[in-house]
Amino acid sequence: MRAYWRHACIGLLSALGVSSALAHPHIWIDSYYSVNVSTPRVQVVEAHWSFDVFSSLDMLIEFDKDANGQLEKAEKAEAAEAFTNLAQYGYFIKMQVDGQAVTPASVDVLDVGVQDQALTVRLGITLPNEVDLQQQRLRMGFGDPENYFAMVIPEQGLVQLNGMRAETCTPTPADATEFYMEGWVDLSCDP
């Protein structure tokens, strides 16, 4: 039985065998970015995911070995390793600097946990170059072109700011023309 769930979770995480033409979302993930704007120059951001409860329970069956409803120690490490399978999809991260697509230099799974029965993932994203938010616009969104994962913008919005200059920066929602995205946020800061 455990092997069945292992294969189900691996299939769930890698979304293998799904045709773009026939796909519709099977997994819903509330997803947002957090950006520390202690200075207007940014090169590292974080992504936060919270999976739908149904998908979370399926994955917890596989990774929560002691069935206590939490991921701890080795369970966390095993779940984090499984999530690295999503690297082949770029972790569904979509970014642009001044209208030009940007691929992160690196993405690391920083933490995996459970909150209110939902599996949560925190990703560390390093951009290839520093972005000066006083002179450049950083556009961020999430999307799965295969439409297997629905990357949902939570009520609090797609970007949360923190740091000394957070009040001088403006995250502006923008419509997405891509069918697989709910929207974008353009981030810039006042001089």
pLDDT of residue 60: 94
> What is the domain partition of the chain in residue ranges?
2-19+26-189
Q: Do β-strands 159-162 and 27-36 pair in parallel, antiparallel, or remain unpaired?
A: parallel
Burial degree of 145 (CB within 10 A; 0-12, 13-18, 19+): middle
pLDDT of residue 83: 95
pLDDT of residue 127: 98
* 139 half-sphere exposure, CB direction, 13 A CA radius: 14
Per-residue pLDDT for the chain (191 aa), expressed as one digit of tens each? Answer: 444 444 444 455 554 344 444 568 899 999 999 999 999 999 999 999 999 999 999 999 999 999 999 999 999 999 999 999 999 999 999 999 999 999 999 999 999 999 999 999 999 999 999 999 999 999 999 999 999 999 999 999 999 999 999 999 999 999 999 999 999 999 999 99
- pTM for the whole structure: 0.87
170 Cβ contact list (under 8 Å, min separation 6): 187, 188, 189, 190
